[in-house]
């Protein structure tokens, strides 16, 4: 599954894989995030973030 975009359902403490893949895309920066490196997301918006920096930017803009 190299270089395939995954589709996830973001849950409060985990995520569920809807469509298998190896990465998702950051909603703010557009950077590729490997699933094993995914640590930041928003459950309500169902968005992934590359790091705490992008997550903070999104939170400030809400």
The predicted structure's pLDDT at residue 62:
84
Q: Hey, what are 24's tokens?
A: 């998702």
Q: Is residue 34 part of a domain?
A: yes
Q: 35 lies in a domain? A: yes
Task: Report if residue 33 sits inside a domain.
Answer: yes
What CA–CA distance (Å, rounded) separates 59 from 26? 14
- The predicted model scores a pTM of 0.90
Q: How many domains does one find in the chain?
A: 1
Q: Is 25 within a domain?
A: yes
Q: How far apart are CA 32 and CA 51, in angstroms?
A: 11
Instruction: Read off the pLDDT of residues 15-40 as tens digits, 9 standing for 90 and up.
Output: 999 999 999 999 999 999 999 999 99
Whether the Cβ atoms of residue 18 and residue 35 lie closer than 8 Å to each other: no
Range of the domain at 20: 7-61
- Is residue 2 situated within a structural domain? no
Residue 41, in any domain of the structure: yes
According to the model, what pLDDT value does residue 1 have?
54
The answer to the question of residue 1 being in a domain is: no
């Amino acid at each position: 599954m190299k270089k395939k975009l995954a589709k996830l359902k973001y849950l409060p403490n985990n995520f569920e894989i809807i469509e298998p893949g190896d990465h998702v895309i950051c909603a703010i920066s557009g950077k590729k995030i490997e699933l094993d490196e995914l640590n930041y997301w928003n459950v309500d918006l169902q968005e992934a973030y590359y790091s705490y920096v992008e997550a903070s930017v999104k939170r400030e803009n809400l």
